Amino acid sequence: MAQKLWDKGKATNEEIERFTVGRDIEMDLFLAKHDVLGSMAHITMLESIGLLGKDELPILLKELKSIYKLAESGDFKIEEGVEDVHSQVELLLTRKLGDLGKKIHSGRSRNDQVLLDMKLFIREQIHLVANAVMDLFHVLIEQSNKYKDVLLPGYTHLQIAMPSSFGLWFGAYAESLVDDMALLLAAWKMTNRNPLGSAAGYGSSFPLNRQMTTDLLGFDTMDYNVIYAQMGRGKVEKTVAFALAGIASTISKLAFDSCMFTSQNFGFIKLPDECTTGSSIMPHKKNPDVFELTRAKCNKIQTLPQQIMMIMNNLPSGYFRDLQIIKEIFIPVFDELKDCLKMTTHIMRDVKIRENILDDPKYDFIFSVEEVNRLVLSGMPFRDAYKKVGLDIEAGKFTPNKNIHHTHEGSIGNLCNDKIQDLMEKSMKEFSFEKVDTAIQKLLR
């Protein structure tokens, strides 16, 4: 017998049911433990306003904690004929506790339940993504410091341009992650607001204490206006998707560089053998498949904000079933991005770099700017110095001076990695991860 919270005794056509449910049950398994946490906070609040008896609350909380453990262990299942995670949790409660289990839905709708579930899920996932970004960041800073004096060619238009260094290369991607983290922080702040109590988008005639559930779940604040709380569905996911896309963009570019730099035409770096694959016909091949797949996955992740935008675009205020589809494309992206971060961190930690690259005469001309600057420092006007060096190159008279002396902030000789680390640490401190963890652990106790 199908379990539906809205069931009024009339059967739904099976094909209609299949179409409308879609992949919702599969996605809801990701939300199960969060749905239980939301119910625990909600019924604690209901007891405080007299909608649950003092003797009923501990019975319900005990059973919900058991369901939470089931969800956390991966053993929670949504049974055949049960519509969603909310229905399954309520079904498990009513099997054990009878009519008492039916009381947990007072003062809320599936609309604010799923809003809450998604925000709790996103919060947890942002925390995991932030930790994975930090792991990669620390490796990049460490490699930047380690290889700060090893030069390599810098390119513009894929033509050799000016001297660069591995210190600059690794450090550039570290600083890119700093900006990505700032965007992730903005997404966190939007996520960490409590929508519970907005019900179907128009509030409730029950005297709900929304501040209480906000505190119990460790939110920084709430989505105050109940209509806006519902309007936030899709908007939060889109904003988070932009933040994830920013991280993916950084990793994708790093993957492209690594694929290019490891090719024989460049030969600047060597990937760990265990991170490459071979060819079925060419015995010499060591292919950078991990980075090629990383590049593709990260480019796919960068399409996510547009997909969400197209699903929710031009919807008026209020709830629409269109929003259900967002879960299908949004929820899986966190594991994909974390996987890419993990692979990239592993390879960047063990990558081998080639020294003395610029000893090759084909890179001599990248020192031409150094010579122009040397002449300017000796008193020659810049335009005259530029012309002289250009004519020397054309005449085959240019002899490079490979002693590089850059001192300004962020240059080869002054990477400012300590400043970059400070920026990252400031961002990380603004996430209220500890406050959230403390609140959740207190609720579970």
E strand or H helix at 164: strand 159-165
CA 342 – CA 288 distance, rounded (Å): 16
CA 175 – CA 414 distance, rounded (Å): 14
For 313, other C-beta atoms within 10 Å of its C-beta total 11
Whether 157 sits among the annotated catalytic residues: the reply is: yes
What is 402-442 written as a DSSP string? ------STTBTTB--HHHHHHHHHHHHHHS-HHHHHHHHHH
The contacts of residue 437 (CB under 8 Å, 6+ apart) are 218
For residue 13, what are the CA distances in angstroms to 19, 20, 196, 218, 444?
Answer: 10, 11, 32, 42, 40
Q: Tokens for 186? A: 């903005």
DSSP state of 11: P
Q: Which residue has the tokens 């996520």?
A: 191
Whether 279 sits among the annotated catalytic residues: the reply is: yes
Q: Do 370 and 404 touch, CB atoms closer than 8 A? A: yes
Q: Do 244 and 252 touch, CB atoms closer than 8 A? A: no
Angle at 132 between CA 129 and CA 138, to 5 degrees: 140
Q: Do 83 and 201 touch, CB atoms closer than 8 A? A: no
**Annotated active-site residue in 39, 109, 176, 279:** 279
**Annotated active-site residue in 73, 157, 280, 408:** 157
Active site residues: 157, 279
